[in-house]
């Protein structure tokens, strides 16, 4: 019933501006009840299709509802100077501030567009001095580059066994074998008992091993309904 | 090094030529200070050229380019000098590179960048507050595009990271410094424009409306971030 | 695209200008055939310029460059045309690029610096362990760049040298103090959900400046076994 395409807005403030614009409403005199209803209809729609980022919209939904409630108060609220407080003021200020940056963003985008029509030297004309850079990749000295260097360390890091700070290393194969051995004697064990007192990487790899074994119907996962614990036991559907 | 230099000093290498060569070759804008010191070092001269001498060379070179019908100019970007083509040859280059249209950033990226550009140094919380949405992805993307950088942490609770724009930002947007940013207009001024509600607001919304064929859920702003 | 092109054709964009712009901006040398076809397409002309016309433009442009004392030339290579600087300005460019290179850090240096920044004071053995390669060269280089300094010896077997970052490091990275480095939570925020081991990041940063009271080497990952 409210026909605004979902892709037309970029966030709750954008949605509000769009609703205001569509009704040709004066931003300084927003009919809160009407806008709130329309806004909530959108948020419900977004929730129903599981759109990302709905949480951002919920805050403004709450804000609109509270403004609506305050508008209904029999006595208007007064500030220190005994002037009447418009419950919509904060929202309007926020919308006005947002409009300024939307405008600036559009202006800057035009500037980028204009500037991008001027071309700088291409690689074909690269002087011989830079044609043969050092083998090592050159990076700039910013904190973000420093963080990226950390990321590279993390991505390219050797296997855990060569790192002194993480001496243990587990593989899914090893953990599967470990689980098989235990289930051979015990038939059934809780995940909690299986990993009690172990390191985080032991737990994670064991958990992955269980998922893999369950997927291959080698074991069954039983929910015990006690906290978040679960049991595993031998045999998948073949046993049934 | 000295032997090489001696060879050169006998030829008449002017400041314009050095400026031209450095502004042509450098990957980022070259500062006037760098040009002065490179010139003085290679020419093995005690007289370091003045800043005015370099500025004058820029004017002379650009005048010569224009007069002789060249398609190149020295631009003042990010506090330095860099050679670039003129506007007039842009269609030829765009055809050559098969670039459909000039570069733009997506709205989430551009809004985030604008807020940081005008408020810098500032924090993610402040950007989130102005936009009304989480700007984590946009900030990371802008950092990786080298349009933003980290400048430390604010002296408030939680010590949030402070962001600012980079020289790369200035260069990409054709600005010499932050003073060159277009004035941030007052909302009242924007609203006061004729038919703001219909025209301007619609224009601001234009990206979204034009791309009506895109799927809403897939639109996570990571397309079209060419820079 | 056509509307843009029409606008340009009325201005006198010569073959020299197009040649100049393409030779300057192209990523690989431009062929004469490419220049002919781009020119014809944008000028929306039925007459494709001849090969001779392009060759003539090269001669004219180079003559103009030489006559007006420019440091640029169009060079003919097997693969096509490109722009280059004259021999005479080569020493200036060499000096410039030598300095440029010195101002940048290579990836191994950056990685080593990042690890030491967060784990300081720390030893070479620990840096080697995290990076998985020998960091001797990188550490020596960083010491010579005054980004690292020696702060004593660790009280463990062999008494290895302890390294820390310098004031120069803070200055180069625009930080007031080491507290200005992003903390663990912020690092995760900055790096996003990338395809690396978050646990490793946590371990790497755990004994960094935010928890300077913990001993680096003794630390294993067996605390915090909740899932």
Q: What are the tens digits of pLDDT across the range A179-197?
A: 888 887 777 787 777 777 6
Q: Domain ranges in chain A?
A: 1-134, 135-240
The nearest CA of chain A is from the CA of C55 a distance in Å of: 19
Predicted local distance difference test score (pLDDT) of residue A138: 59
Q: How far apart are CA A44 and CA A195, in angstroms?
A: 42
**What pLDDT, in 10s, does the model give residues B28-49?**
999 999 999 999 999 877 778 9
Q: What one-character DSSP code corresponds to residue A197?
A: T
How many angstroms separate the CA of residue C157 from the nearest CA in chain B? 37
CA distance C71 to B168: 26
Looking at the partner chain, which of B8, B97, B140 has a beta carbon nearest the beta carbon of C91? B8
CA distance C198 to chain A (A): 8
Q: What percent of chain B has pLDDT over 90?
A: 57
Of B85, B113, B209, the CB nearest to A118: B85
Flag whether residue B98 sits within 8 Å of chain A, measured between CB atoms: no
Nearest CA in chain B to A8: B208
The pLDDT value given to residue A238: 35
How do residues B135-187 score in pLDDT, each as one tens digit?
999 999 999 898 998 888 888 888 899 999 999 999 999 999 999 999 998 87
- The Cα–Cα gap between C186 and B48 comes to 46
Of the candidates C193, C202, C108, C104, the one whose C-alpha atom is nearest the C-alpha of residue A153 is C108
3-state secondary structure of A219: strand
| SS3 of residue C46 by DSSP | coil
Enumerate residues 166 to 225 of chain B having a beta carbon within 8 A of any beta carbon in chain C: none
CB contact under 8 A, B159 and C175: no
Q: Which chain C residues contact residue B24 at CB under 8 A?
A: 24, 71-72, 83, 85
Give CA A49 to chain center in angstroms. Answer: 17
Would you state the pLDDT for residue A130? 54
Tell me how close the Cα of A234 comes to any Cα of chain C, in angstroms: 23
Helix (H) or strand (E) holding C95: helix C90-102
Out of B25-39, B86-100, B211-225, which region has the weakest mean confidence (pLDDT)? B211-225
Closest chain B C-alpha to C159 CA, distance in angstroms: 34
CA distance B201 to chain C (A): 26
**C13 shares contact with chain B (CB less than 8 Å):** yes
What is the pLDDT, as a whole number, of residue A129?
Answer: 57
Show which subunits contact B, needing at least 3 CB pairs below 8 angstroms.
A, C
ipTM more than 0.90?
Answer: no
Using the predicted structure, report yes or no on whether residue A7 has a pLDDT greater than 80.
Answer: no
Question: In the CATH hierarchy, which fold is given to the domain comprising A135-240?
Answer: Arc Repressor Mutant, subunit A (1.10.10)
Per-residue pLDDT for A230 more than 70? no
Candidates A154, A191, A201, partner chain C, best to mutate (most C CBs within 10 A): A154
> Which segment of A121-125, A176-180, A219-223, C104-108 scores lowest on mean pLDDT?
A219-223
Q: Are B220 and A16 in contact (CB under 8 A)?
A: no
Q: What is the mean predicted confidence (pLDDT) over A152-170? A: 53
Flag if A53 and B205 touch (Cβ within 8 Å): no
Residue A120, chain C, CB below 8 Å: the answer is yes
Whether pLDDT at B23 is above 50: yes
pLDDT averages per 10-residue partition of chain C, 227 residues:
43 89 94 93 82 94 94 88 93 88 82 91 90 91 91 88 92 83 82 69 63 36 35
* Higher local confidence (pLDDT), A152 or A63: A63
Nearest CA in chain B to C24: B85
Residues of chain A in contact with residue B133, where contact means CB-CB under 8 angstroms, are: 10-13, 53, 56
C-alpha torsion sign, points A141, B108, B132, B118: positive
Q: Which residue has the higher pLDDT, B52 or A166?
A: B52
> B161's torsion region: left (phi>0), alpha (psi -120 to 50) or beta?
beta
3-state secondary structure of C86: coil
**How many CB atoms sit inside 10 A of residue C10's CB?**
7
**pLDDT category, A50, cuts 50, 70, 90?**
low
What band does B83 get if pLDDT is binned at 50, 70 and 90? Answer: very high
Nearest Cβ partner for B71 among C17, C70, C186: C17
pLDDT of residue C99: 82
Q: What confidence score (pLDDT) does residue A163 get?
A: 38
pLDDT score, position B130: 94
Query: What does the CA dihedral B49, B55, B57, B61 come to, rounded to 10 degrees?
Result: 160
Chain A residues 80-119 with CB within 8 Å of chain B: 94, 96-109, 111-119
Q: Model confidence over B2-12: pLDDT tens digits?
A: 444 444 444 57
Whether the pLDDT of residue B131 is over 90: the answer is yes
Instruction: Give CA–CA dist B198/C85, Å, rounded.
Output: 53
Q: Any chain A CB within 8 A of the CB of C217?
A: yes
Calculate how close chain C gets to B214, using CA atoms only, in Å.
22
CB contact under 8 A, C106 and A134: yes
- Give every CB contact of residue A195 below 8 A, 6+ residues apart in sequence: A202, A203, A206, A207, C225, C227
Look over chain A and give the mean of its residue pLDDT values, rounded to a whole number.
Answer: 75
First to last CA, chain A: 52
Sequence-separated (6 or more) residues with CB below 8 Å from residue A84: A76, A77, A78
CA distance B165 to B143: 9
CB spacing of A11 vs B132 below 8 angstroms: yes
Q: What is the mean pLDDT of chain B?
A: 81
For residue A18, pLDDT beyond 50: yes
Confidence bin at A51 (pLDDT 50/70/90): low
C182 contacts B161? CB cut-off 8 A: yes
C173 touches chain A (CB under 8 A): yes
Among the residue ranges A96-105, A152-161, B130-139, B158-167, the one predicted with the least confidence is: A152-161
**What pLDDT does B164 receive?**
93
In whole angstroms, give the CA distance from residue C71 to residue B146: 31
Q: How far is CA A238 from CA A182, A219, B26, C111, in A?
A: 20, 10, 70, 52
C23–A contact, CB cutoff 8 A: yes
CB B161 within 8 A of CB A79: no
Per DSSP, the three-state class of C152 is strand
Reading phi first (left if > 0) and then psi (alpha if -120 to 50, else beta), residue B152 is in left
- What's residue A156's pLDDT? 62
Question: B188 to chain A, minimum CA–CA distance in Å?
Answer: 8
Contact C89 B136 (CB under 8 A): no
Integer-rounded Cα radius of gyration of chain C: 28
- Residues from chain A that touch B197, judged by Cβ atoms under 8 A, are 20-21, 24
Omega before A159 within 30 of 0, i.e. cis: no
CA-to-CA distance for A170 and A155, rounded, in angstroms? 18
Mean pLDDT of B17-37: 95
Predicted pLDDT of residue B18 = 95
B216 to A100: CB separation less than 8 angstroms, yes or no: no
Give just the sign of the alpha carbon dihedral A199, C132, A153, B223. Answer: negative
| The model's pTM | 0.73
More confident: A163 or C43: C43
Provide the sign of the torsion angle of the four alpha carbons C203, C208, C211, C215, taken in this order.
positive
pLDDT band of residue B207 (cuts 50, 70, 90) is very low
Mean pLDDT, to the nearest integer, of A72-81?
Answer: 81
How far is Cα B206 from Cα A59, in angstroms, rounded to an integer?
A: 26
**Interior/surface letters C98-128, b for 16+ CB within 10 angstroms, e for the rest:** eebeeeebbbbbbbbbbbbbbbbbbbbbbbb
């Amino acid at each position: 019933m409210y026909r605004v395409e979902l892709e037309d807005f970029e966030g709750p403030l954008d949605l509000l501006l769009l609703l205001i614009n569509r009704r040709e409403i004066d931003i300084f005199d927003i009919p809160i009840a009407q806008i709130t209803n329309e806004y909530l209809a959108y948020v419900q729609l977004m929730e129903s299709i599981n759109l990302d980022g709905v949480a951002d919209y919920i805050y403004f939904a709450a804000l609109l509802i509270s403004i609506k409630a305050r508008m209904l108060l029999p006595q208007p609220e007064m500030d220190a100077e005994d002037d009447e407080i418009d419950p919509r003021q904060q929202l309007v200020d926020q919308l006005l501030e947002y409009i300024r940056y939307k405008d600036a963003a559009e202006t800057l985008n035009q500037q980028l567009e204009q500037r991008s029509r001027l071309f700088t030297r291409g690689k074909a004309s690269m002087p011989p001095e830079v044609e043969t850079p050092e083998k090592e990749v050159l990076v700039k000295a910013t904190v973000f580059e420093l963080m990226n260097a950390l990321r590279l360390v993390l991505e390219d890091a050797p296997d855990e066994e060569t790192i002194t700070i993480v001496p243990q290393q587990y593989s899914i194969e090893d953990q599967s074998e470990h689980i098989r051995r235990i289930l051979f004697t015990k038939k059934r064990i809780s995940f909690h008992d299986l990993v009690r007192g172990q390191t985080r990487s032991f737990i994670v790899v064991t958990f992955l091993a269980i998922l893999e074994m369950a997927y291959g119907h080698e074991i069954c996962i039983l929910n015990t309904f006690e906290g978040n614990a679960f049991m595993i036991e031998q045999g998948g559907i073949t046993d049934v | 090094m000295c032997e090489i230099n001696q060879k050169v000093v006998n030829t008449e290498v002017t400041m314009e030529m050095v400026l031209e060569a450095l502004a042509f070759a450098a990957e980022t804008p070259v500062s006037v200070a760098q040009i002065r010191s490179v010139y003085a070092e290679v020419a093995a001269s005690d007289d370091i050229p003045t800043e005015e001498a370099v500025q004058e060379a820029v004017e002379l070179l650009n005048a010569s380019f224009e007069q002789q019908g060249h398609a190149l100019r020295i631009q003042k970007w990010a506090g330095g000098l860099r050679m670039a083509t003129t506007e007039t040859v842009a269609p030829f280059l765009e055809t050559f590179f098969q670039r459909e249209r000039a570069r733009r950033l997506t709205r989430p990226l551009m809004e985030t960048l604008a807020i940081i550009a005008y408020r810098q140094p500032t924090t993610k919380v402040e950007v989130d507050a102005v936009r009304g949405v989480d700007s984590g992805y946009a900030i990371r993307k802008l950092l990786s595009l080298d349009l933003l950088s980290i400048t430390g942490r604010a002296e408030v609770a939680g010590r949030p990271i402070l962001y600012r724009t980079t020289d790369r930002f200035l260069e990409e947007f054709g600005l010499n410094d932050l003073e060159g940013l277009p004035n941030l207009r007052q909302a009242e001024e924007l609203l006061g424009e004729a038919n703001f509600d219909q025209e301007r607001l619609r224009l601001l919304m234009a990206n979204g409306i034009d791309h009506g064929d895109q799927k809403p859920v897939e639109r996570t702003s990571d397309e079209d971030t060419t820079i």
